[in-house]
Protein backbone atom coordinates (compact mmCIF):
# COMPACT_ATOMS: atom_id res chain seq x y z
CA UNK A 1 0.00 0.00 0.00
CA UNK A 2 2.77 2.33 0.95
CA UNK A 3 4.71 1.43 -2.16
CA UNK A 4 1.60 2.03 -4.29
CA UNK A 5 1.10 5.37 -2.64
CA UNK A 6 4.67 6.39 -3.24
CA UNK A 7 4.60 5.29 -6.85
CA UNK A 8 1.39 7.27 -7.34
CA UNK A 9 3.03 10.24 -5.73
CA UNK A 10 6.01 9.92 -8.03
CA UNK A 11 3.75 9.72 -11.06
CA UNK A 12 1.80 12.75 -9.92
CA UNK A 13 5.00 14.58 -9.27
CA UNK A 14 6.36 13.53 -12.64
CA UNK A 15 3.19 14.65 -14.37
CA UNK A 16 3.42 18.04 -12.74
CA UNK A 17 7.04 18.35 -13.72
CA UNK A 18 6.11 17.26 -17.20
CA UNK A 19 3.41 19.91 -17.34
CA UNK A 20 5.92 22.45 -16.25
CA UNK A 21 8.49 21.22 -18.74
CA UNK A 22 5.85 21.38 -21.44
CA UNK A 23 5.12 24.94 -20.44
CA UNK A 24 8.82 25.63 -20.49
CA UNK A 25 9.33 24.14 -23.88
CA UNK A 26 6.39 25.94 -25.45
CA UNK A 27 8.33 29.06 -25.85
CA UNK A 28 11.73 27.67 -25.00
CA UNK A 29 12.40 30.83 -23.07
CA UNK A 30 11.41 32.89 -26.06
CA UNK A 31 8.33 34.96 -26.15
CA UNK A 32 6.50 33.29 -28.99
CA UNK A 33 3.17 34.94 -28.97
CA UNK A 34 0.82 36.98 -26.94
CA UNK A 35 -0.69 33.87 -25.40
CA UNK A 36 0.91 34.68 -22.08
CA UNK A 37 3.13 31.55 -21.89
CA UNK A 38 6.20 32.61 -20.00
CA UNK A 39 8.34 31.79 -16.98
CA UNK A 40 9.64 33.98 -14.21
CA UNK A 41 12.68 32.67 -12.41
CA UNK A 42 13.93 33.63 -9.02
CA UNK A 43 16.59 32.32 -6.74
CA UNK A 44 16.28 32.84 -3.03
CA UNK A 45 18.11 32.27 0.18
CA UNK A 46 16.16 31.63 3.27
CA UNK A 47 16.24 30.59 6.87
CA UNK A 48 13.75 29.82 9.54
CA UNK A 49 12.87 28.03 12.69
CA UNK A 50 11.71 24.45 13.13
CA UNK A 51 9.49 22.72 15.58
CA UNK A 52 10.06 19.02 15.07
CA UNK A 53 9.01 15.77 16.65
CA UNK A 54 8.76 12.05 16.14
CA UNK A 55 5.53 10.14 15.90
CA UNK A 56 4.74 6.47 15.74
CA UNK A 57 1.71 4.26 15.42
CA UNK A 58 3.60 1.55 17.27
CA UNK A 59 2.82 1.68 20.99
CA UNK A 60 6.36 0.57 21.70
CA UNK A 61 7.51 4.00 20.58
CA UNK A 62 5.89 6.79 22.55
CA UNK A 63 5.46 10.04 20.70
CA UNK A 64 7.92 12.75 21.57
CA UNK A 65 7.53 16.31 22.51
CA UNK A 66 8.82 19.07 20.32
CA UNK A 67 12.44 19.65 19.48
CA UNK A 68 13.22 23.22 18.40
CA UNK A 69 15.62 23.72 15.54
CA UNK A 70 16.36 25.70 12.45
CA UNK A 71 16.52 25.45 8.71
CA UNK A 72 18.20 27.28 5.92
CA UNK A 73 19.07 26.95 2.28
CA UNK A 74 18.61 28.07 -1.27
CA UNK A 75 15.48 27.96 -3.41
CA UNK A 76 14.89 28.16 -7.11
CA UNK A 77 11.45 29.43 -8.05
CA UNK A 78 9.91 29.03 -11.50
CA UNK A 79 6.58 30.79 -11.80
CA UNK A 80 4.44 30.41 -14.86
CA UNK A 81 0.98 30.53 -16.37
CA UNK A 82 0.03 34.23 -16.19
CA UNK A 83 -3.44 34.92 -14.92
CA UNK A 84 -4.55 36.68 -18.06
CA UNK A 85 -3.17 38.13 -21.22
CA UNK A 86 -2.28 41.36 -19.55
CA UNK A 87 -0.37 39.92 -16.62
CA UNK A 88 3.19 38.72 -16.45
CA UNK A 89 4.65 35.40 -15.38
CA UNK A 90 5.73 36.98 -12.11
CA UNK A 91 2.08 37.02 -11.25
CA UNK A 92 1.44 33.57 -12.59
CA UNK A 93 -0.99 31.09 -11.16
CA UNK A 94 1.54 28.34 -10.58
CA UNK A 95 5.13 27.88 -9.58
CA UNK A 96 7.53 25.07 -8.95
CA UNK A 97 10.12 25.63 -6.29
CA UNK A 98 12.96 23.12 -5.92
CA UNK A 99 15.04 23.76 -2.86
CA UNK A 100 18.12 22.56 -1.09
CA UNK A 101 17.63 23.09 2.58
CA UNK A 102 19.47 22.05 5.72
CA UNK A 103 17.06 21.22 8.48
CA UNK A 104 17.29 19.91 12.01
CA UNK A 105 14.65 17.50 13.25
CA UNK A 106 14.28 14.77 15.86
CA UNK A 107 12.36 14.76 19.07
CA UNK A 108 12.69 15.30 22.78
CA UNK A 109 10.92 13.47 25.54
CA UNK A 110 11.43 12.96 29.23
CA UNK A 111 13.11 9.61 28.53
CA UNK A 112 15.28 10.38 25.56
CA UNK A 113 16.39 13.02 23.14
CA UNK A 114 17.14 12.31 19.54
CA UNK A 115 18.55 14.93 17.23
CA UNK A 116 18.55 14.40 13.47
CA UNK A 117 20.00 16.69 10.84
CA UNK A 118 18.97 16.54 7.20
CA UNK A 119 19.91 17.88 3.86
CA UNK A 120 16.48 18.13 2.31
CA UNK A 121 15.44 18.59 -1.29
CA UNK A 122 11.84 19.77 -1.37
CA UNK A 123 10.16 20.26 -4.73
CA UNK A 124 7.14 22.40 -3.97
CA UNK A 125 4.25 22.99 -6.30
CA UNK A 126 2.72 26.34 -5.60
CA UNK A 127 -0.69 27.67 -6.47
CA UNK A 128 -1.36 31.38 -6.23
CA UNK A 129 -5.00 32.24 -5.53
CA UNK A 130 -3.86 35.83 -5.55
CA UNK A 131 -0.73 37.40 -6.91
CA UNK A 132 1.07 37.46 -3.58
CA UNK A 133 -0.34 34.54 -1.69
CA UNK A 134 0.29 30.90 -2.37
CA UNK A 135 -0.44 27.47 -1.05
CA UNK A 136 2.04 24.76 -1.76
CA UNK A 137 2.57 21.03 -1.53
CA UNK A 138 5.19 18.62 -2.69
CA UNK A 139 7.57 15.82 -1.90
CA UNK A 140 10.72 16.24 0.13
CA UNK A 141 13.73 14.00 -0.18
CA UNK A 142 15.66 14.12 3.07
CA UNK A 143 19.19 12.82 3.42
CA UNK A 144 20.25 12.33 7.01
CA UNK A 145 23.61 13.94 7.68
CA UNK A 146 24.04 13.44 11.41
CA UNK A 147 22.39 12.26 14.56
CA UNK A 148 22.89 12.61 18.29
CA UNK A 149 23.42 10.76 20.54
CA UNK A 150 24.98 7.44 19.44
CA UNK A 151 22.77 5.38 21.71
CA UNK A 152 19.37 5.99 23.16
CA UNK A 153 17.11 3.99 25.43
CA UNK A 154 13.42 3.72 24.67
CA UNK A 155 11.19 1.48 26.76
CA UNK A 156 14.12 -0.41 28.26
CA UNK A 157 15.62 -1.05 24.82
CA UNK A 158 18.94 0.44 23.98
CA UNK A 159 19.22 1.50 20.36
CA UNK A 160 22.69 1.65 18.92
CA UNK A 161 22.39 4.45 16.40
CA UNK A 162 25.78 3.94 14.78
CA UNK A 163 24.05 2.32 11.82
CA UNK A 164 21.19 4.79 11.73
CA UNK A 165 20.60 6.07 8.19
CA UNK A 166 17.26 7.77 8.80
CA UNK A 167 16.91 8.97 5.21
CA UNK A 168 13.39 10.06 4.64
CA UNK A 169 10.81 10.75 2.02
CA UNK A 170 8.48 13.39 3.25
CA UNK A 171 5.37 15.20 2.17
CA UNK A 172 5.12 18.90 2.75
CA UNK A 173 2.37 21.45 2.56
CA UNK A 174 2.32 25.10 3.45
CA UNK A 175 1.37 28.65 2.73
CA UNK A 176 3.33 31.78 1.94
CA UNK A 177 3.08 35.45 1.29
CA UNK A 178 5.15 37.57 -1.05
CA UNK A 179 6.11 41.10 -0.17
CA UNK A 180 8.46 42.50 -2.75
CA UNK A 181 11.61 40.43 -2.70
CA UNK A 182 10.66 38.85 0.57
CA UNK A 183 8.69 35.64 0.98
CA UNK A 184 7.30 34.71 4.35
CA UNK A 185 6.17 31.13 4.58
CA UNK A 186 5.14 28.32 6.85
CA UNK A 187 5.25 24.67 6.02
CA UNK A 188 4.51 21.34 7.60
CA UNK A 189 6.55 18.26 6.71
CA UNK A 190 5.56 14.72 7.51
CA UNK A 191 7.90 11.79 6.98
CA UNK A 192 6.75 8.70 5.15
CA UNK A 193 9.70 6.47 6.04
CA UNK A 194 10.54 5.01 9.40
CA UNK A 195 13.88 6.32 10.56
CA UNK A 196 15.02 2.69 10.87
CA UNK A 197 13.38 -0.58 9.95
CA UNK A 198 13.08 -1.55 13.59
CA UNK A 199 12.62 1.95 14.96
CA UNK A 200 9.17 2.96 13.83
CA UNK A 201 9.45 6.67 14.23
CA UNK A 202 8.42 9.09 11.55
CA UNK A 203 9.60 12.67 11.40
CA UNK A 204 7.32 15.60 11.48
CA UNK A 205 8.47 19.15 11.30
CA UNK A 206 6.75 22.51 11.20
CA UNK A 207 8.79 25.27 9.65
CA UNK A 208 8.41 29.01 9.47
CA UNK A 209 10.87 31.20 7.66
CA UNK A 210 11.72 34.03 5.44
CA UNK A 211 13.25 34.02 1.96
CA UNK A 212 14.98 36.81 0.18
CA UNK A 213 14.52 36.48 -3.57
CA UNK A 214 16.67 37.57 -6.47
CA UNK A 215 15.00 37.74 -9.84
CA UNK A 216 16.93 35.76 -12.37
CA UNK A 217 15.04 35.85 -15.58
CA UNK A 218 11.64 36.70 -16.91
CA UNK A 219 10.19 35.99 -20.28
CA UNK A 220 6.98 37.71 -21.07
CA UNK A 221 4.48 36.86 -23.67
CA UNK A 222 4.59 40.45 -24.89
CA UNK A 223 8.02 39.96 -26.37
CA UNK A 224 10.80 39.88 -23.84
CA UNK A 225 14.11 38.83 -25.37
CA UNK A 226 15.47 35.34 -25.02
CA UNK A 227 18.53 36.08 -22.91
CA UNK A 228 17.16 38.76 -20.66
CA UNK A 229 18.62 38.52 -17.17
CA UNK A 230 17.04 40.87 -14.77
CA UNK A 231 17.81 42.34 -11.43
CA UNK A 232 20.38 39.84 -10.17
Partner 1 sequence: MKTRIIILSLLMTLCSIFSACENQAVDITVTADITINTASVLAPFIAYDSSDLDMYPDSKVRLTCLLYDAAGALINRQDIALSDFSSSANIQEKIGSQTYTLVVVASCVSGGSLLKPEYEAYSLTGVNNLNTLNIEQIKSDISKVFDSCWQVLGFGIQENLTQSEYEPFMTLKPATALVYMNFRSIHASSNIDLYAIGWTSNNLMTFTQQNAGFSCNVDGIYDECDIEPDRYTSENLYSLFSVFPGECRTVGASFTGNNIVDWKQNSVNVQAGHQYVFQYDCSAAALTIKEGRL
State yes or no: residue 57 binds partner 1 (CB under 8 A).
no
Nearer to partner 1, 129 or 197 (CB): 197
162 binds partner 1 (CB under 8 A): yes
Q: How far is the CB of 139 from partner 1 (least distance, A)?
A: 6
By the rule CB under 8 A, 159 interacts with partner 1:
yes
State which of residues 24, 75, 114, 211 lies at the interface with partner 1 (CB under 8 A). 24
Q: Tell me which residue of 72, 164, 52, 55 sits closest to 120, measured CA to CA.
A: 72
DSSP 221: T
Shortest Cβ distance from residue 181 to partner 1 (Å)?
A: 26
Report the alpha-carbon distance of residue 78 to residue 73 in Å, rounded: 17
* Strands (DSSP E) found in the chain: 39-55, 67-80, 94-108, 113-130, 133-148, 151-154, 157-160, 168-179, 182-191, 202-218
Among residues 57, 59, 110, 156, the one that binds partner 1 under rule CB under 8 A = 156
What's the min distance (Å) between Cβ of 170 and partner 1?
10
Size of residue set near partner 1 by CB under 8 A: 39
For residues 204 and 192, the answer to whether their CB atoms sit within 8 Å is: no
Closest by CA position to 54, among listed 102, 113, 122, 5: 113
Q: How far is CA 70 from the centre of its chain?
A: 14
**Shorter beta-carbon distance to partner 1: residue 93 or 154:** 154
Residues 96-155 touching partner 1, rule: CB under 8 A, are 121, 123, 139, 141
Residue ranges binding partner 1 (CB under 8 A): 3, 6-7, 9-11, 13-14, 17-18, 21-22, 24-25, 121, 123, 139, 141, 156-167, 169, 192-199
Amino acid sequence: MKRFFLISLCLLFGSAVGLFAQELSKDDFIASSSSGSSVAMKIGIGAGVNVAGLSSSNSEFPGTGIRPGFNGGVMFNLRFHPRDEMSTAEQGLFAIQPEIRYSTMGGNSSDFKLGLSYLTVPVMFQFYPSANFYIEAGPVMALNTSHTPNTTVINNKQYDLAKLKANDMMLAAGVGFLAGNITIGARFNFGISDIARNMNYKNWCAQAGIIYNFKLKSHEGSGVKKDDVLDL
